[in-house]
C-alpha cells in the first residue's frame, strides 16, 4: 500500500522561505500547478531587475495580478545595465497598452509624457522604476540605480509625499524601511574620470531629501552625495527642500554616505533626523564641488545628535587630493573635537589626525582620555603614521589605566596605518622571491612600540588589532 504524505500549505511556505537562493525558489513554481500558485508570491517577494526588459515583464505581471505587487518586499536594481532601447523595440513598447496606460496615469501633461518616453527609451533605471513604485504598497527595501538629473523620479517622490496621483495616500511607502542609492555613472566608470570628462559635478540628487520625508524610512545608504547645502546645479530646488526639512523632522536613524563630499558637514541631512543612531561617511575629493574634508563642520552637525548617536564612522578610507576647488587641501587633518559628551556612542571609527589634535605638535592639546565618551565599546583608529605610533600608544595606555572608572564598556581597539614591511620590489631587490614573507608582515619596530599596549589589553581582556589596510587578515594578539 502506497501512503502519500501531503503537507499543509503553511508548512510548505515555511520550507520555501528557508530557501534563500532566488533560483531555488524559482524552480519551485515549475514543479506543479499547486506549487506554482503557492510559491509565486514568494518568488516575487524579492525582485531583482537588471534591465528595461526585466522591468517591463515585471510591470506586466504586477498589473495583471495585483496580488503579486502586494507580495513585493524588496526591489533590487543594484546590477542595472543602462542601455538605450533599439528603435524597433521601442516602437513595440510604446504601443503596449500596459506601458501606455502606466505612463498616462503618471503624467500630468503632454510635456511630462514626452519626458517619460525619452528617459524610458534611454533605458534609465530610475525612470523605469518610478513607473512601478505606485503599485508596490508593501515595499520594505529599495536598491535603486539613478542617473542625474532625475526629473521623473523627483516628480514621483514629491507626489508620493503629497499623496497625489498616481499614489494612494494611505498606502504610500508605509512599509519602506531601507533605501540604497547607487549613482549610475559611478558604476559605469570612476567618479573622478566621469567628473573630469563632463566638466561638471552631477552628484547632488535633490530627490535624496525626498526620502528623508518618508515617515516609515529608517536607513539610507547613498554614494556620490555632494552636500545639499553646498552650491549645486539647481540651488533654488535644493534650498526649497532643505527648508522643508526642519530639525528633527525625519524618522531615519541610520545614514551611510559613501564616496561623498560634505562641504557643510551634511547639515541638512543630519539635523533633519530626530533620533540619529548611526552615521557613516566616506569622503572623496573627486567631485568638482568638493572643498576637501571638513571635520569641524561634521562636528557642528553631529553635536545635535550627541545623546542618540551610537555608531560613528568618519571618513572611512576616504580619498584626499593635494588640491581641491577651494585650493590647497589642508582641512582633512583638522581635529574633529572632543567626543566626551556623545553619551550614547559605542562604536567609533576615525582617522588619527581627526581624533587627536596633533597636526602641528607631537603631543595633543587635549588628551585622548578627555576626547572619548564613557559609553565607548569599540575604537578603530585609521591612518596612523609611523611617527605618531609612540604618541598614540602612550595615549591609549592612559585610557586603559583608567578603563574601570572612565571606559568600563571598552572591548576592542584597532590601529591601522602604513605599517607593512617594504616589498622587495619597493626596495629594488630583484633577488628576493615575489612570495617573500617579509612582504606581508608588519614592521618589527611597530610591533615593539605596540608591545606595552598588548600587555595592557591582555590583562584587561580587550581585543587589540594592529594592522595595515592592505592586509586581508588583521594581526591580533
Residue 38: predicted pLDDT: 59
Residue 194: predicted pLDDT: 41
Cβ 74 vs Cβ 47: under 8 Å: yes
Instruction: Give 53-117 as a 3 state SS string.
Output: HHHHHHHHHHHHCHHHHHHCCEEECCCCCCCCCCHHHHHHHHCCHHHHHHHHHHCCCHHHHHHHH
The rounded distance, in Å, linking the Cα atoms of 279 and 256 is 6
Computed on alpha carbons and rounded to an integer, the radius of gyration of the chain in Å comes to 26
pLDDT tens digits, one per residue of 265-278: 999 899 999 999 99
Backbone angles phi, psi at 47, to 5 degrees: -105, 120
Cβ 78 vs Cβ 180: under 8 Å: yes
Least confident range from 39-43, 69-73, 235-239, 315-319: namely: 235-239
Helix (H) or strand (E) holding 400, with range, is helix 389-401
Q: Across residues 313-331, what is the average pLDDT?
A: 80
For the chain, domain boundaries? 350-427+442-477
pLDDT tens digits, one per residue of 46-61: 899 999 999 999 999 9
Residue 456 grid coordinates? 595592557
| Secondary structure of residue 263 in the 3-state scheme | coil
Residue 212: predicted pLDDT: 92
Name the range with the highest mean pLDDT among 97-101, 207-211, 244-248.
97-101
For residue 126, pLDDT over 50 is answered with yes
Q: What is the mean pLDDT of the chain?
A: 82
For residue 450, pLDDT over 50 is answered with yes
For residue 327, pLDDT over 60 is answered with yes
For residue 2, pLDDT over 70 is answered with no
Residue 363 grid coordinates? 603631543
Residue 247: predicted pLDDT: 74
Report CA torsion sign: 82, 75, 191, 414: negative
The rounded distance, in Å, linking the Cα atoms of 210 and 416 is 37
Residue 477: predicted pLDDT: 40
Residue 427 grid coordinates? 626596495
Residue 405 grid coordinates? 572608572
pLDDT tens digits, one per residue of 216-256: 999 999 998 888 654 444 444 444 444 444 578 899 999 99
Residue 457: predicted pLDDT: 93
The rounded distance, in Å, linking the Cα atoms of 156 and 127 is 10
- Residue at grid coordinates 573627486: 286
The rounded distance, in Å, linking the Cα atoms of 156 and 119 is 14
Residue 236: predicted pLDDT: 47
Percent of the chain with pLDDT over 70: 77
Q: What confidence category does residue 465 fall into, taking pLDDT thresholds of 50, 70 and 90? A: very high
Residue 234: predicted pLDDT: 47
Least confident range from 64-68, 153-157, 399-403, 437-441: namely: 437-441
pTM metric for this prediction: 0.84
Percent of the chain with pLDDT over 90: 50
- Tell me the C-alpha to C-alpha distance, in Å, between residue 477 and each of 166, 352, 382: 59, 22, 19
For residue 439, pLDDT over 90 is answered with no
Residue 265: predicted pLDDT: 93
DSSP 284: B
pLDDT tens digits, one per residue of 104-116: 999 999 999 999 9
Backbone angles phi, psi at 281, to 5 degrees: -140, 130
Helix (H) or strand (E) holding 425, with range, is helix 424-427
Residues in the chain: 477
Partnered with residue 336 across adjacent β-strands are none
Q: What confidence category does residue 401 fall into, taking pLDDT thresholds of 50, 70 and 90? A: very high
**DSSP track, 345-365:** --EEEEEHHHHS--SSSSS-S
Amino acid at each position: 500500500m502506497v501512503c502519500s504524505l501531503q503537507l499543509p500549505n503553511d508548512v510548505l511556505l515555511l520550507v520555501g522561505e528557508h530557501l534563500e537562493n532566488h533560483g531555488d525558489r524559482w524552480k519551485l513554481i515549475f514543479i506543479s500547478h499547486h506549487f506554482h500558485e503557492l510559491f509565486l508570491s514568494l518568488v516575487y517577494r524579492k525582485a531583482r531587475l537588471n534591465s528595461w526588459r526585466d522591468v517591463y515583464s515585471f510591470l506586466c505581471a504586477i498589473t495583471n495580478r495585483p496580488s503579486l505587487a502586494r507580495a513585493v518586499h524588496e526591489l533590487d536594481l543594484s546590477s542595472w545595465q543602462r542601455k538605450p532601447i533599439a528603435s524597433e523595440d521601442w516602437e513595440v513598447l510604446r504601443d503596449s497598452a500596459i506601458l501606455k496606460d502606466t505612463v498616462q496615469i503618471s503624467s500630468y501633461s503632454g510635456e511630462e509624457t514626452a519626458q517619460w518616453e525619452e528617459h524610458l527609451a534611454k533605458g534609465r533605471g530610475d525612470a523605469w522604476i518610478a513607473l512601478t513604485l505606485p503599485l508596490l504598497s508593501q515595499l520594505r527595501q529599495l536598491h535603486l540605480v539613478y542617473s542625474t538629473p532625475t526629473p521623473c523620479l523627483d516628480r514621483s517622490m514629491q507626489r508620493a509625499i503629497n499623496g497625489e496621483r498616481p499614489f494612494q495616500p494611505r498606502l504610500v511607502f508605509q512599509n519602506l524601511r531601507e533605501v540604497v542609492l547607487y549613482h549610475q555613472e559611478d558604476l559605469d566608470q570612476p567618479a573622478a574620470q566621469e567628473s573630469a570628462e563632463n566638466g561638471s559635478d552631477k552628484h547632488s540628487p535633490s530627490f535624496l531629501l525626498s526620502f528623508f520625508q518618508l515617515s516609515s524610512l529608517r536607513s539610507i545608504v547613498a554614494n556620490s552625495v555632494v552636500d545639499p547645502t553646498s552650491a549645486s546645479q539647481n540651488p533654488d530646488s535644493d534650498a526649497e527642500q532643505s527648508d522643508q526639512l526642519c530639525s528633527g523632522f525625519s524618522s531615519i536613524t541610520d545614514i551611510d554616505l559613501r564616496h561623498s563630499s560634505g562641504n557643510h558637514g551634511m547639515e541638512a541631512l543630519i539635523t533633519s533626523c530626530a533620533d540619529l543612531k548611526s552615521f557613516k561617511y566616506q569622503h572623496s575629493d573627486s567631485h568638482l564641488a568638493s572643498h576637501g574634508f571638513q571635520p569641524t563642520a561634521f562636528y557642528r552637525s553631529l553635536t545635535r545628535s550627541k545623546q542618540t548617536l551610537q555608531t560613528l564612522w568618519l571618513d572611512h578610507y576616504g580619498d584626499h587630493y593635494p588640491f581641491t576647488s577651494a585650493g590647497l587641501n589642508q582641512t582633512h587633518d583638522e581635529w574633529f573635537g572632543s567626543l566626551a559628551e556623545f553619551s550614547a556612542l559605542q562604536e567609533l571609527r576615525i582617522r588619527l589626525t581627526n581624533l587627536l589634535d596633533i597636526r602641528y605638535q607631537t603631543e595633543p592639546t587635549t588628551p585622548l582620555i578627555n576626547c572619548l565618551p564613557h559609553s565607548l565599546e569599540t575604537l578603530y583608529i585609521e591612518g596612523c603614521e609611523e611617527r605618531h605610533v609612540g604618541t598614540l600608544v602612550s595615549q591609549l595606555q592612559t585610557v586603559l589605566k583608567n578603563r574601570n572608572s572612565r571606559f568600563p564598556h571598552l572591548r576592542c581597539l584597532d590601529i591601522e596605518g602604513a605599517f607593512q614591511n617594504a616589498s622587495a620590489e619597493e626596495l629594488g631587490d630583484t633577488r628576493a622571491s615575489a612570495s617573500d614573507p617579509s612582504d606581508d608582515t608588519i614592521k618589527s619596530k611597530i610591533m615593539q612600540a605596540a608591545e606595552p599596549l598588548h600587555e595592557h589589553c591582555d590583562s584587561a581582556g580587550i581585543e587589540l588589532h594592529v594592522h595595515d589596510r592592505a592586509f586581508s587578515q588583521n594581526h591580533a594578539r
